[in-house]
Amino acid sequence: RSVPVMDIDFTNTTMDVFLNETIHPCLTQAQKCFIVTANPEIVMATRHNARFKETVQSADHVLPDGIGIINAAKMQGTPIDERICGVDVMHHLLAHAAENGYSVFFIGAQEASNKKAVEKAREKYPGLIVAGRSHGYADLYDEAFVRTVVEAKPDIILVALGMMKQEGWIRDHIDRFDKGVFMGVGGSFDVLSG
């Protein structure tokens, strides 16, 4: 089920259903999934950037992150069930990963923030398997770096480079992986580390 808002098809579901019927099976079956959590800022950016628009449209799921999306859908007469915040999805993913032995790769933010975010995630979600981590100011298109991430075979790849950059990196590299839930998480590592 989806609802189009300004040419973007938003997944119309609840957090519970999304996790239980989409994300958990994707992890169990070692499949791939590209999630974009889109707020109005992201939707506006797609209007000015055709490539970014294609990237967002290529995602498996675009989640309505922001009351502006919910309101726009309602005004169109095609209401969306629930606002789903990217940061909430991230926490659910981390909790689920820790409970079920899935590994997570953390890409993005300043080195100190990235390191601290990983430490906090480990404290908050005991048993969490960290497949690897990298700050977001290295050359993330460098073949050696990409190979490191691919060879770590992470189940979940969180990319915190800010909108556009993070979705661009996922778009450009997801084909290299055999499995993985990929999600751009914006400034979430800065929040998690703080």
User: By the criterion CB under 6 A, which residues form the site for ligand UDP?
Assistant: 108-110, 136-137, 160-163, 165, 186-187, 189-190
In the bound state with ligand UDP, the residue whose beta carbon lies nearer, of 27 and 186, is: 186
Dist. CA 74–CA 126, nearest whole Å: 40
In the bound state with ligand UDP, the residue whose beta carbon lies nearer, of 64 and 186, is: 186
Considering the complex, what minimum distance in angstroms separates the CB of residue 45 from ligand UDP? 10
Q: Which helix (H) or strand (E) holds 156?
A: strand 156-160
Residue owning tokens 């070692």: 30
In the bound state with ligand UDP, the residue whose beta carbon lies nearer, of 27 and 167, is: 167
Task: Name the β-bridge partners of 37.
Answer: 63
Nearest in space to 15 (alpha carbons), one of 66, 95, 85, 94: 85
In the bound state with ligand UDP, the residue whose beta carbon lies nearer, of 28 and 49, is: 49
In the bound state with ligand UDP, the residue whose beta carbon lies nearer, of 24 and 165, is: 165
User: What token pair was written down for 54?
Assistant: 């294609």
Phi then psi for residue 6, to 5 deg, are: 50, 55
Cβ-closest position to ligand UDP: 136
Tally Cβ neighbours within 10 Å of residue 139.
9
Considering the complex, what minimum distance in angstroms separates the CB of residue 39 from ligand UDP? 8
Considering the complex, what minimum distance in angstroms separates the CB of residue 187 from ligand UDP? 3
Considering the complex, what minimum distance in angstroms separates the CB of residue 165 from ligand UDP? 6
Q: Which residues contact 46 (CB under 8 A, 6 or more apart)?
A: 6, 7, 8, 52, 53, 56
Considering the complex, what minimum distance in angstroms separates the CB of residue 10 from ligand UDP? 18
Write the DSSP symbol of residue 176. G
